[in-house]
Amino acid sequence: MSYQFPPQIIEALQQAKHIMALTGAGTSAESGVPTFRDAQTGLWAQYDPQELATPDAWARNPQLVWEWYTWRRNLVAEARPNAGHYALAKMAQHANQFTLVTQNIDNLHQEAGSSNVIELHGNLRRIKGANSGCVYPNWEAFTGSPPQEPVSGEYMRPDVVWFGEILPEVQLLSAIEASQACDVYLLIGTSSLVHPAASLVVNALRNQATVIEINPNPTPITEYATYAIPHPSGEILPALVTAVWG
Ligand code: BV8
């Protein structure tokens, strides 16, 4: 990796009172999990994720949506955390205060050892009653496409936030609080196109926090970031943790 960290980045992280990290699908790209911007592969090439990840798609064709998520779950089940996930878990041990907020639903931060992960968009490992919202920790216990809750007969759905659905209140409020309190905001592997997650950085910018974007491609935030590091997070994050904390 040819990137040299400006000394100001090292200093900002060493002196940070509260580091917040917001991660997106790019953080899992090096684990082989396709991002939303990647073209869907194979069977799903003809579908647009933003069409399938919606209550309307579920109402129209719950079986298709369930099978799409089963395909994604199997894809994620084969994925392992990459060096970027492990680096964020390590950063949390060094930082005075560290808040990890993710838009991802692949559970890879938890598998890398991160705790207290704030999941803004849910988690593909869990399913919930489509009407009751009653959450079940694993979907293997159920059969059917989509499965039905044995007693009530209600359909089960993935415990994720679809487009047009409100985000879980506690998680969103925690993320907002951290974005307002942090003095370093890491924006990692996200196109910053999906709201309200994408607008959290505005709170950090408003408070003159040091905003560090890690993304090989430019985003709508790049020009406002204090530093933009155009490299993959799986490479940069371990190098950054070593450069800052040895
Ligand atoms: C809501 C779970 C309100 C499901 C997801 C305000 C302004 C504008 C629009 C809206 C707004 N408020 C609401 C909206 C509408 C909508 C929205 O934002 N639409 C966008 C498309 C314009 N938002 C919503 O609907 C949200 N709900 O606000 O409700 C409301 C109010 C009242 C009543 C009802 C509702 C809900 C949004 C959550 C949707 N669910 N996921 C599932 O996954 O199936 S979002 C989903 O897409 C992901 O979770 C993720 O968040 C998003 C994709 O974004 P990224 O993670 O950034 O991934 P992406 O592929 O886009 O980019 C990857 C990046 O990684 C790229 O930049 C790439 O360069 C980079 N990269 C690649 N490789 C690497 C890398 N970076 C580093 N290292 C690498 N190796």
Q: What is the CATH number of the domain that holds 67?
A: 3.30.1600.10
Query: What CATH number corresponds to the domain at position 211?
Result: 3.40.50.1220
Cβ neighbours, 10 Å, residue 143 = 8
C-alpha span between 105 and 82 (Å, rounded):
15
Given this model, what pLDDT does residue 1 score? 60
**Do 85 and 140 fall into the same domain?**
no
**Do 139 and 216 fall into the same domain?**
no
Mutational pocket test of ligand 1: of 107, 163, 186, 222, the residue with most ligand atoms within 8 Å of the beta carbon? 163
Bridge partners (DSSP) listed for residue 22 = 101, 187
How many domains does the chain fold into? 2
C-alpha span between 65 and 55 (Å, rounded):
10
**Do 98 and 116 fall into the same domain?**
yes
Alpha helices in the chain (DSSP H): 7-14, 49-52, 55-60, 62-77, 83-94, 108-111, 169-181, 200-206, 233-245
Pocket of ligand 1 from Cβ distances under 6 Å: 24-26, 29-30, 35-37, 50, 53, 103, 105, 121, 160-166, 189-191, 193-197, 214-217, 219, 232-234
Q: Assign residue 59 a region: left if phi > 0, alpha if psi is -120 to 50, beta otherwise?
A: alpha
**Do 189 and 241 fall into the same domain?**
yes
Is 85 labeled as catalytic in the residue annotation? no
**Do 74 and 179 fall into the same domain?**
no
Domain hosting 156: range is 42-78+130-160
Given this model, what pLDDT does residue 183 score? 98
> For residue 1, is it within any domain?
no
Per-residue model confidence as pLDDT tens for the chain (246 residues): 678 999 999 999 999 999 999 999 999 999 999 887 776 666 677 778 888 999 999 999 999 999 999 999 998 999 999 999 999 999 999 999 999 999 999 999 999 999 999 999 999 999 999 999 999 987 788 889 999 988 889 999 999 999 999 999 999 999 999 999 999 999 999 999 999 999 999 999 999 999 999 999 999 999 999 999 999 999 999 999 999 999
**Do 220 and 232 fall into the same domain?**
yes
- For ligand 1, atom 66, the nearest C-alpha belongs to 191
> For residue 144, is it within any domain?
yes
Do 121 and 91 meet the contact criterion of CB atoms below 8 Å apart? Answer: no
C-alpha span between 169 and 166 (Å, rounded):
8
**Do 234 and 179 fall into the same domain?**
yes
> For residue 57, is it within any domain?
yes
**Do 222 and 102 fall into the same domain?**
yes
Given this model, what pLDDT does residue 38 score? 77
**Do 154 and 86 fall into the same domain?**
no
